[in-house]
């Protein structure tokens, strides 16, 4: 009898525990559903939507939304056209653009000045040569005589010393051009062969004096003109170099800008966010800059 009573008691306890376990299980599922429901409502609530983002951005920080890619090709072309413009596009301050623009402006201003002065000086030495160096008139030749040819001229000097008026033979190192070209004005001052054309050559000792005062002054004038024109050419070259240097430097600056901004392409941040009234859940934010 005791055994039977003990069996029924154990059976009742087991049934109670089974119901308790089932009740606990049902209650657990209800709690999960409640959590899901409250969590969904919370995620859609104004409290969640207005809260601060997980990634705190300090004022002035370059975020992925503020980041602007700078094309090195565009920077190169901008400064190739206008020195300094590519630097501004690439994010440089005003110092480098002002320097490049100043060099550009100075180069062009100097070019125009020296080019103008050089041309004026060229006109001066040509006018001086026309007034003090004479080729001689060989027209009207009759019976071995050049009636219009003066002795104190270049052709007269040739006739006097070589019995010819033409300098095209191999006996002479240079041949005077038929027209007054740049070579013409260079040769009459540069080579002793043309010394007889200078008017003051005949006033001194023709046997020993080759470089007369007029010839010497003429060569100085030509040198001054050539120096000015050379300076103009050098300033033009400087302007071209300035364009190229500015273009390459702008491209490098644009590339450096992109590298500095995009060095940390990946970032991972974790924090706890309120999910329900009594629950916090861990959240991880991963950002990548492309």
What is the mean pLDDT, run by run of 10 residues, along the chain of 290 residues?
48 45 48 52 50 45 58 94 93 92 96 97 97 95 91 94 91 93 96 95 87 96 97 97 96 89 57 63 60
Alpha-carbon distance values, 123 to 110, 129, 178, 182, 200 (Å): 20, 10, 19, 11, 21
Whether the full predicted model's pTM is greater than 0.75, yes or no, is no
Per-residue confidence (pLDDT) for residue 48, from 0 to 100 = 43
Per-residue confidence (pLDDT) for residue 267, from 0 to 100 = 52
Per-residue confidence (pLDDT) for residue 30, from 0 to 100 = 53
Per-residue confidence (pLDDT) for residue 2, from 0 to 100 = 46
């Amino acid at each position: 009898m005791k055994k039977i009573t003990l069996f029924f008691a154990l059976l009742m306890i087991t049934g109670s525990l089974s119901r308790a376990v089932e009740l606990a299980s049902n209650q657990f599922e209800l709690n999960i559903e409640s959590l899901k429901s409250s969590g969904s409502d919370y995620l859609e609530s104004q409290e969640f939507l207005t809260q601060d983002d997980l990634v705190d951005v300090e004022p002035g920080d370059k975020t992925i939304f503020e980041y602007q890619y700078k094309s090195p090709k565009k920077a190169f072309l901008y400064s190739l056209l206008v020195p300094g413009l590519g630097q501004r596009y690439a994010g440089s301050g005003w110092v480098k653009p002002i320097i490049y623009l100043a060099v550009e402006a100075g180069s062009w201003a100097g070019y125009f000045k020296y080019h103008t002065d050089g041309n004026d000086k060229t006109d001066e030495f040509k006018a001086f040569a026309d007034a003090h160096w004479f080729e001689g008139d060989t027209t009207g030749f009759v019976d071995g005589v050049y009636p219009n040819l003066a002795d104190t001229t270049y052709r007269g000097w040739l006739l006097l010393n070589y019995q010819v008026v033409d300098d095209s033979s191999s006996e002479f190192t240079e041949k005077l051009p038929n027209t007054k070209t740049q070579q013409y004005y260079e040769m009459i001052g540069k080579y002793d062969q043309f010394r007889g054309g200078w008017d003051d050559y005949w006033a001194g000792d023709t046997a020993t004096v080759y470089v007369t005062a007029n010839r010497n002054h003429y060569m100085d004038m030509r040198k001054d003109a050539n120096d000015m024109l050379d300076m103009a050419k050098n300033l033009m070259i400087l302007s071209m170099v300035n364009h190229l240097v500015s273009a390459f430097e702008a491209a490098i600056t644009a590339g450096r800008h992109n590298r500095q901004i995009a060095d940390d392409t990946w970032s991972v941040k974790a924090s706890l966010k309120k999910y329900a009234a009594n629950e916090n859940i861990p959240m991880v934010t991963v950002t990548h800059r492309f």
